[in-house]
Chains A and B, each alone.
Chain A
Amino acid sequence: MTMQRGSNVKGIGTAAAAGLAVVLLIVGIAAGYFAGAATVAPVTTTQTQTVTSTKTVGAEATITQTVTQTVTQPVTQTVTQTATSTVTRTVTATATAAAGLPDKVRIGVLLPLSGELGAIGQRMLYGAHIAAKIVNDSGGIGGRPVQIVAEDTAAVPDKALDAVKKLIEVQGVQVIVGPATSVEVATIAKYLNDRKVPAISMSATAAALSNLAKQYGDTYFWRVVGSDSIQARAIADIMKQKDFKRIVTFVVSNDYGIGMEQMILAQPGIKERHVLAIRYDPTKGDYRTELEQVKAANPDVIFYALWVESGKIVFRQALDLGLEKIPTMGGEGMADEAFFEDPRAADYMVKTGLFGTRPTYDPNTYSYQIFYKMHQQLYGAEPSLFADYTYDATMVAILAVAHAGVYEGAKIKNALALTGQYYIGATGMKALDPATGDLLSQDYLIWRVELKDGKPVYNFNYGSWSLGAGVVWK
């Protein structure tokens, strides 16, 4: 069999490919340069806006604070500025603070805007826009408007990495709100450290993320939501207070369920009382074997962390097997009315007096009302899950830029702890730990399933737990 030499028949492919490649690169580079066109402009003295806004906003404590805080910025610059303008002293002070800021202060936002969590991510983004609008309506940061730059991560770690690189390298973003899930945080944390750009998450609760600072020497990951370890502490406190001696954990076999189980067991004094750990497969559909094991362990409490669809089956079968005499507890995901769709599951929940924890804050505060009213006004709907936390994360990011006085990741990060100390957010106090970036305290309410007019309901006023006060029954 003979073959011809040099007969590399490639046809039009090669030419077309080369053409495409060049076009792609040119588009990318051009777009990148346009994106980065925003340079630091010289200081102008048209800052009167800021001062008037402080009055109009009035009781909006946070904005007022920003202005007063930034007064303490470099004094030397203030002098040179007043010399060239006729504006009053307070105003120039604010202008000095803004001297290091670009024309537009970009706040990067990483959220799942497509994919499985796309629907919820889109509505979380409302929170960021509300924060930007409130600040811009009152004159921005020392006259520089805030701009939200959102990127989609689809809640997939690889995409989150692409997205954060685009924000930082192509658009020069120096502070980021998000990402939403803990897995994404774990993936991008090192890159954030390398590039010295802080990210403030609104919903990544995994306890392991508190170790990032220890692992990398410093942390650029911060969060305005309580770590799971705080909730585990609340649950452990309740278990000890009720003096349960034979605890069984029954959790769904995924990061939520297993994480919950591990965190509770890590609390002091729980391991000795723990007799059995069940991790179940939510797609299995029959849990009699697992429940028989529970029965044989003779527990005095069962802690459940279940998903709704499989959870209903677990509860129904638990009732069939006569487990209704054993008291039950649950995590935050268990306070979901969807469980009541199955009357036998609901019956089991009522008979065992299922109770558990859920993060809480007071919606009657002024801070929350500002957020709530603006949400109603702009979107005409009730805020969805985590839109409030996204709002707070964005506010903390904006205020940290104002505190830092320059648009530079490392300095903004250093300003975060101070910002958190003074900021009272829609979702409560946002005091942040400078060593780990964690929210220092999170309050939990204790709910219980009860019968009201013959129907099962959640009583969200059964008790409460906080770091300071511990368990309080109502």
Chain B
Amino acid sequence: MVNIENFILDMFIYVGIFGVLSISLNLEYGFTGLWNFGKVAFYMIGAYTSAIITTLGQPFYIGFAAGVVVSSLAGLLISLPALRLREDYLGILTLVFGEIIRIILKNEYWLGGPLGIRGIPSITPAGLDYTTTLLVQLASITVIAAVCYLVAYRLIHSPFGRVIRGIREDELATASLGKNTFRYKASIFAISSAMAGIAGAFMGQYVTSITPDQFMPFVSFTVWMMVMLGGFANIEGAFLGAFLYIGFERAARIAKDYLLLPIDPNNLMFILTGLLILIFVFLRPQGLLKENKVRDYKGV
């Protein structure tokens, strides 16, 4: 009756989903220095767009593509007014943007209302046993994550990557070199929102149901914690951070049954996560993996 392998496969699927979200935040904050506290908004837009389209009978790839395009456009649109703000105001605006989208979805019954959308078609064919289904899902998210990784890798090791790092270090200096920093920032916002969108579209078909309450601001902060753990401006670190956070969460859930503690075991996870973040902030603020030096292009 016990199928621990299912639990572990499921965990790695979530590591994939959150790994993609972490890469996306890393491109914005780690490499460009943009404060985005509303990552969940683009995750949500991707999930809802794809869910609506696939429940109308379209195949999943059209849903996924639409999720990516709509999220990316949303990212671009929000960036137009937002990027003119100072970094802390950008953080506030993105946070509020996520909440606005969530509250609209909760109140619009034609978009599912508070109970959201159920019966989203899954990419796995029906009739497979549960473990095989999980393996197919894991393979799919691995492909998606690999594509996002390669896109991010190419970006940061290109002239484009050097400009966005320049913006992070000193925007004024970069602008003085004749770079249109606004255009670079808007592009990075659109690209990373597209990644968040595909993560959302994938999650929707995996769980097969989405509700507005799955997209609370806490999700954005979870991604921030993953990036803090894994390392800022390091795309391998994005996956490491996601793995550590989710593994930690699940291990704590299991471990609490075997520990006799003077505290309520349900709060164990919160205490340990808080402690871990504090340790990192004090002892290793750059995260586990450091930023790599820009690759050399000698001979290219």
Q: Which residues of A contact B (CB under 8 A)?
A: 2-5, 7-11, 13-14, 16-17, 20-21, 24-25, 27-29, 31-36, 113-114, 118, 151-152, 156-158, 161-163, 165-166, 168-172, 174, 182-183, 186-187, 189-191, 194-195, 206, 208-209, 212, 215-216, 253-255, 258-259, 262, 279, 407
Contact = CB atoms under 8 A, between A and B. Distances in A.
B129 to A, nearest CB: 10
Nearest to A155: B213
A227 to B, nearest CB: 13
B3 A169 contact: yes
A170 B255 CA distance: 12
B292 A255 contact: no
Given A8-B293, A24-B244, A36 B2 contact: yes
B107 interface: yes
Given A187-B211, A189-B118, A190-B207, 12 more contacts: A10-B292, A21-B244, A24-B248, A31-B258, A151-B253, A156-B218, A163-B253, A165-B10, A166-B253, A172-B3, A183-B114, A187-B116
B266 A17 contact: no
B248 A31 contact: no
B52 interface: no
Contact of B290 (A11, A24, A28, A262): A11
Interface in B203-232: 207-209, 211, 213-214, 216, 218-219, 231
Contacts of B292: 8-10
A114 B269 CA distance: 11
Q: Which of A7, A13, A163, A182 has the most CB of B within 10 A?
A: A13
Given A32-B254, A165-B10, A186-B115, A170 B209 contact: no
Contacts of B244: 17, 20-21, 24
A190 B209 contact: yes
A195 B130 contact: yes
B119 interface: yes
B118 A13 contact: no
B114 A258 contact: yes
B289 interface: yes
A-B interface, 7 closest residue pairs, ranked by CB to CB distance from nearest: A36-B2, A255-B114, A172-B1, A32-B4, A169-B7, A152-B266, A31-B254
A13 B208 CA distance: 37
A186 B2 contact: no
Contacts of A187: 116, 207, 209, 211, 214
A162 to B, nearest CB: 7
8 contacts: A8-B293, A13-B289, A114-B264, A172-B3, A189-B118, A209-B115, A254-B114, A258-B109
Contacts of A5: 296, 298
Contacts, number: 169
A8 B291 CA distance: 9
Interface residues of B, number: 57
A20 B115 CA distance: 38
B290 to A, nearest CB: 6
Contacts of A183: 114-116, 211, 213
A255 B113 contact: yes
A335 to B, nearest CB: 23
Contacts of A156: 213, 216, 218
Contacts of B113: 255, 258
Contacts of B295: 3
A266 to B, nearest CB: 12
B130 A32 contact: no
Contacts of A161: 207
B123 interface: no
A166 B250 contact: yes
Nearest to B130: A194
A17 B7 CA distance: 22
A25 to B, nearest CB: 7
Contacts of A194: 130, 133
B169 to A, nearest CB: 14
B7 A166 contact: yes
B118 A215 contact: yes
A113 B208 CA distance: 26
Interface in B223-266: 231, 240, 243-244, 247-251, 253-255, 257-258, 264, 266
B288 interface: yes
